Structure 1
């Protein structure tokens, strides 16, 4: 079970996963070694599943961000889930409740690439597309 100190450590790691244990310790009033022990325990329990780097992709190469909602025409979604995993354009995918079956965040370099991607979706069902104007968070 997580206590308040564990939750504080997780909050700090969410903001910056590169923080040193001693720096975290100063903020939660523990030694760096004690913080390291707590972090290792949370890793072993699967609470912390990994560390990542957030990259501003638009500074590397400009792209369009499309928010795509899928409306499946079949109850067997196994082919579609394989499709999702195989497509590098899909940076996030969620199975959802409510309107639609899946929602995806898709990055493509231009409108033509988006059209090709959307054509590849048609065998699985219908879709709704919204283009992102700006990322807020």
Structure 2
């Protein structure tokens, strides 16, 4: 991947729907040359896909939290099944340290968060931080 590929990727990160013609103008290449580079980056797995980021209606009123959980070995499969089945779960990471998973959730209310926590606490000890606001949220840059 050379510097031109990196410029193309940065433009696509800013706007994944940017027309190839506009990208070509920004990187001083022809449209077919840019299309070829994008296709190659996709085939090599460097570009893994394009996405739309949705926000929940009334998102400001939702309760977002990070739940750290030390899921015991006997309930780990049940915990992962719970995470997959709960629509409030946005992300789940396997981590090192005192806890073995961190789960990001978005619940309609404190009661909804408490209900989800009760389910998780049956599978291990938890520690919860409610997200007050997002100071920085940037995409992965190359």
Separation of aligned partners in 1, 2:12 and 2:26 = 12
- Across the aligned residues of Structure 1 and Structure 2, the Cα RMSD in angstroms comes to 1.9
Separation of aligned partners in 2, 1:133 and 1:60 = 12
Match in the other structure for 1:121:
120
Residue 36 of structure 1 deviates from its aligned partner by 1.3
> How many correspondences in the alignment?
136
1:51 aligns with 2:46: no
With normalisation by structure 1, the TM-score equals 0.88
User: Which runs of 5 or more structure 2 residues have no equivalent in the other structure?
Assistant: 138-142
Separation of aligned partners in 2, 1:41 and 1:81 = 35
1:82 aligns with 2:81: yes
* Higher relative contact order (CA closer than 8 Å, sequence separation 6+): 2
Separation of aligned partners in 1, 2:83 and 2:107 = 15
Match in the other structure for 1:11:
10
Local SS of the residue matching 2:97: coil
Moved more, 106-115 or 120-129: 120-129
With normalisation by structure 2, the TM-score equals 0.85
